[in-house]
Amino acid sequence: MTPGISFLLGLAAASAIATIVADLRGLLPLARVFRPLAMASIILLAAVRPAAVSESYRLLIVAGLGASLVGDVFMMLRNKKFSAGLAAFLLAHVLYTAAFLRTMSPRVEVMTVLPLFIYALFMMRTLFPHLGRLKAPVALYILVITVMTGLAVQRYINVGGTPAFFACIGAILFVISDTILAFDRFVKKLPLAQFTILGTYFSAQILFALSV
């Protein structure tokens, strides 16, 4: 790992930790500085690393990280633009899905899909009574992130290797982050929710960047 890559990785990790600490202490102006800085560092990390997979895979991952940064900005506004943020993260997952499909067969095994299908049904059943007009966009989001994660897991099973492993764990962490966020926002407030949401979110994005 070159000094430049190490610096960006350290900056991303430090900015992510600073975001979590600032958020927990209610220092929202600092969180609004460090959260975009963390994502910008992660984007640069993915952009400058030597491509271990392919250049097209890198470009799609970088684009997904960029869409996530846009989603972060919408979520940080004083009047949160939840629908706009959801759309940006939906686009990010579509781009991650496209990246995985570029480097694997689209065929997936039943035992890979079944647990994720059960997860998607559980989430929809749990969230729908609380969503109001957000039922359709949230259902679409759950479907897309489930497909993205299923492909990431199947890709690791089929292809193996460190990059595919990083992408697989990153996808799973993203599901954990979004699941806790959804429960905390729509169902019931959870203790230390933001700590877990942000910790798994930033870890997922760093792993996606390291998977190029």
Average pLDDT, the chain: 93
Provide the pLDDT for residue 41.
Answer: 98
8 pLDDT exceeds 90? yes
Residues 12 and 38: beta-carbon distance below 8 Å = yes
Instruction: Give the separation between CA 189 and CA 183, rounded to whole angstroms.
Output: 7
Once rounded to an integer, what is the mean pLDDT over residues 140-163? 95
Once rounded to an integer, what is the mean pLDDT over residues 173-178? 97
Once rounded to an integer, what is the mean pLDDT over residues 35-43? 97
Provide the pLDDT for residue 112.
Answer: 84
CB atoms within 10 A of CB 10: 11
Instruction: Give the separation between CA 103 and CA 204, rounded to whole angstroms.
Output: 19
Q: How confident is the model at residue 107 (pLDDT cuts 50, 70, 90)?
A: confident
What's the token pair of residue 211?
């998977």
Q: How confident is the model at residue 77 (pLDDT cuts 50, 70, 90)?
A: confident
171 membership: H or E segment, kind and range: helix 162-182
DSSP structure class, residue 187:
I
First-to-final CA distance of the chain: 14
Provide the pLDDT for residue 50.
Answer: 84
Residues 154 and 163: beta-carbon distance below 8 Å = no
Provide the pLDDT for residue 49.
Answer: 87
Query: What percent of the chain has a predicted confidence (pLDDT) above 90?
Result: 81
Note the pLDDT tens digit of each residue in 184-194. Answer: 999 999 888 99
